[in-house]
């Protein structure tokens, strides 16, 4: 048993629902107890879908336990077919039904329904949501996709986007436009928006674009092997990755590289003098493997940040994230325990967090600005406006999203200038940091990370003298954590046991850039 409060991922059948909900003409019959229908509201509320997920639940109750649940399943299956007349069905069990061992796949097969029925085996007590989506899409593809004649125009499939995916809707639009600029048509987008008959003609494409490895990699590997479709390995999030992706596509498709950079603004915005203050900002990155990896490259190479923490919650991506972290001189944090993430963030004392909904909350608690780069997300990250992460516009969106929560260059300067001013003291924080500026006395804000760090370092060897502590508090809060840390490292390296004002400024001089 493991005590859990927050989970980054739902159970695997929610992954299957993500696939079913974004497809058309497919119906999912889920053997599950009353109450499991809660998952519907993720789609109707968070993603604001205007239709019910195409999922029929058997909703068995205690009195049904025993032989009756099997009948219940068959009745529900038949009723779902009769009512919705889908082109294909998927059937499976949720965590409770897995325990009563009714075998939905076997039962559905015996019923002889006139459409393909695909059985899902999703181990609820071992795996999670992303696995559920990946496996479901793989099984659907394996069952329905057949070798077919290639399209005359060079075409590709977009693989991996699902319901409840972080910006999947707009990433599809962005990539479709970019591929069109190279003369490449999109054959099928799947599973998002695809019907079972669309899945049957996946093989007509010349290659696959794997948009999200978490939810599409198994299907891509199978198509590579059985349908001879190579797939792209670069996820085009960020300017550099987008350019790499274009090169990869041009090689796969045998067409010249073409990219319309007229509307690409990140490189100039990042180069403009107003962005100079971004240099070396310490960022902590956490999310799903794909988005975390992409964010790390953008942060370091395109925004000029220093990446001080990198990790992901999905074990499936642990290996690539570990390798990547090594490149950045870091040890990757692979965990699905948000308390570990919180501890790591506190220890790294970043000036900004790039993460999920949970890291947003951690950031709020620690008083650190945060931008969301990955699922799980709440309703505000399914925006009405066009807001991709991928491609050219994705890079522009990313620049804005990441810069907004930071204290602006001019504002940072003013805060520093007027830090002793009675209403503009540094503990007042920035006006957009969420209203914690009113109650604090100058310098003793308990909600700021620096104030909660104990006066000694972890090793217990370096002690802050009172005057140095006071001086430290004169430094604006958003750089105070960094100053404290650097000073302690400096003192430890020099073999000092105490930090006075002298040491503080020696360290400041040492680290000046």
Partner 1 sequence: MSFDTPPSTGCRDAPVLRERGQHEVFCGLTGIIWLHRKMQDAFFLVVGSRTCAHLLQSAAGVMIFAEPRFGTAILEETDLAGLADAQAELEREVGRLIARRPDIRQLFLVGSCPSEVIKLDLARAAEKLSVQHAPHVRVLNYSGSGIETTFTQGEDACLASMVPGLPETDARQLMLVGALPDVVEDQARDLLAQMGITDVTILPARRADDPVAVGANTVFALLQPFLGDTLAALERRGARHIPAPFPFGAQGTTGWLRAVADEFGVDDATFERVTAAPRARATRAVAQAAESLSGKSIFFFPDSQLEIPLARFLTRECGMRAIEVGTPFLHKTILGPDLDLLEAGPQLTEGQDVERQLDRCRAAHPDLTVCGLGLANPLEAEGLTTKWAIELVFTPVHFYEQAGDLAGLFSRPMRRRAALKLGAAS
Question: How far, in Å, CA of 482 to CA of 449, rounded?
Answer: 11
For the beta carbon of residue 381, count every other beta carbon within 10 angstroms: 18
Please tell me whether residue 51 binds partner 1 under the rule CB under 8 A. yes
Query: Which 100-159 positions form the footprint of partner 1 (CB under 8 A)?
Result: 100, 124-126, 128
Look at the block and give the residue holding tokens 């945060």: 370
From the list 50-58, 169-177, 231-239, 448-456, the region that binds partner 1 by CB under 8 A is 50-58
Spot the catalytic one: 181, 274, 400, 421: 274
Q: Are 161 and 235 in contact (CB under 8 A)?
A: no
Task: Identify any residues that bridge with 89 across adjacent strands, giving them in sequence order.
Answer: 27, 117
Question: What minimum distance in Å lies between the beta carbon of 102 and partner 1?
Answer: 12
Is 382 near partner 1 (CB under 8 A)? no
Stretch of 58-66, 267-275, 312-320, 396-404 contacting partner 1, by CB under 8 A: 58-66
Q: Which stretch binds partner 1 (CB under 8 A): 34-42, 170-178, 321-329, 400-408?
A: 34-42
By CB under 8 A, tell whether 2 contacts partner 1: yes
Question: At residue 371, what are phi and psi to the nearest 5 degrees?
Answer: -125, 150
Residue 354 near residue 334 (C-beta atoms within 8 A): no
CB of 55 to partner 1, least distance (A): 9
CB of 299 to partner 1, least distance (A): 25
Is residue 103 annotated as part of the catalytic site, yes or no?
Answer: no
Q: How far apart are CA 457 and CA 148, in angstroms?
A: 65
- Cβ count near 513 (within 10 Å): 4
| CA–CA separation, 8 and 274 (whole Å) | 36
Q: Does 447 bind partner 1 (CB under 8 A)?
A: no
CB 264 within 8 A of CB 395: yes
216 preceded by a cis bond (ω within 30 of 0)? no
Binder of partner 1 out of 23, 65, 138, 473 (CB under 8 A): 65
Does residue 62 interact with partner 1 by CB under 8 A?
yes
Minimum Å gap between C-beta 169 and partner 1 is 16
Other C-beta atoms closer than 10 Å to the C-beta of 82 total 9
In 259-351 the beta strands, taken as DSSP E runs, fall at 282-287, 306-312, 333-334
- Considering only 99, 111, 251, 417, the residue that binds partner 1 (CB under 8 A) is 99
Catalytic residues: 274
Binding positions for partner 1, rule: CB under 8 A: 1-7, 9-11, 13-14, 33-42, 44-45, 48-52, 56-62, 64-65, 76, 79, 83, 94-96, 99-100, 124-126, 128, 358, 361, 364, 378
């Amino acid at each position: 048993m493991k005590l859990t409060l927050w989970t980054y991922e739902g159970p695997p059948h929610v992954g299957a629902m993500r696939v079913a909900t974004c497809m058309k003409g497919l119906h999912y019959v889920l053997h599950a107890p009353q109450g499991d229908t809660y998952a519907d509201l993720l789609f109707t509320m968070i993603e604001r879908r205007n239709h019910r997920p195409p999922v029929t639940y058997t909703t068995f109750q205690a009195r049904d336990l025993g032989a009756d649940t099997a009948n219940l399943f068959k009745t529900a299956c038949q009723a779902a077919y009769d009512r919705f007349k889908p082109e294909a069905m998927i059937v499976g069990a949720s965590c409770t039904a897995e325990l009563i061992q009714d075998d939905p796949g076997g039962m559905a097969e015996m019923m002889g329904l006139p459409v393909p029925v695909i059985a899902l085996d999703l181990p609820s007590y071992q795996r999670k949501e992303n696995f559920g989506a990946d496996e479901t899409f793989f099984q659907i593809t394996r069952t329905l996709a057949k070798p077919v004649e290639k399209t005359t125009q060079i075409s590709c499939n977009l693989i991996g986007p699902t319901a409840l995916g972080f910006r999947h809707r707009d990433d599809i639009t962005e990539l479709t436009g970019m591929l069109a600029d190279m003369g490449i048509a999109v054959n099928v987008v799947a599973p998002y928006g695809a019907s079972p008959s669309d899945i049957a003609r996946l093989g007509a494409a010349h290659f696959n674009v794997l948009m999200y490895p978490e939810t599409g990699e198994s299907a891509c590997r199978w198509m590579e092997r059985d349908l001879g479709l190579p797939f792209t390995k670069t996820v085009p999030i960020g300017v550099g990755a987008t350019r790499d992706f274009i090169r990869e596509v041009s090689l796969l498709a045998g067409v010249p590289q073409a990219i319309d950079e007229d509307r690409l603004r990140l490189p100039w915005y990042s180069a403009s003098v107003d962005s100079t203050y971004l240099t070396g900002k310490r960022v902590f990155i956490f999310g799903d493997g794909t988005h975390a990896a992409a964010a790390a490259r953008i942060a370091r190479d395109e925004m000029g940040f220093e990446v001080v923490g990198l990790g992901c919650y999905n074990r499936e991506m642990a290996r690539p994230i570990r390798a990547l972290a090594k490149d950045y001189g870091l040890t990757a944090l692979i965990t699905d325990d948000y308390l570990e993430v919180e501890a790591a963030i506190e220890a790294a004392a970043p000036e900004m967090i790039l993460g999920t909904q949970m890291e947003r909350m951690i950031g709020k608690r620690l008083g650190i600005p945060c931008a969301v780069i990955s699922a799980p997300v709440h309703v505000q990250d399914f925006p009405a406006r066009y807001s991709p992460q991928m491609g050219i516009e994705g890079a522009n969106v990313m620049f804005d999203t990441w810069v907004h929560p930071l204290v602006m260059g001019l504002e940072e300067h003013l805060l520093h200038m007027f830090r002793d001013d009675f209403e503009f003291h540094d503990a007042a924080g920035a006006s957009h940091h969420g209203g914690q500026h009113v109650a604090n006395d100058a310098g003793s804000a308990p909600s700021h990370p620096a104030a909660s760090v104990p006066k000694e370092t972890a090793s217990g060897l370096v002690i802050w003298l009172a005057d140095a502590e006071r001086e430290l508090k004169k430094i604006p809060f958003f750089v105070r954590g960094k100053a404290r840390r650097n000073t302690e490292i400096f003192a430890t390296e020099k073999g000092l046991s105490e930090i006075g004002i002298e040491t503080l400024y020696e360290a400041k001089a040492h680290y000046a850039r």
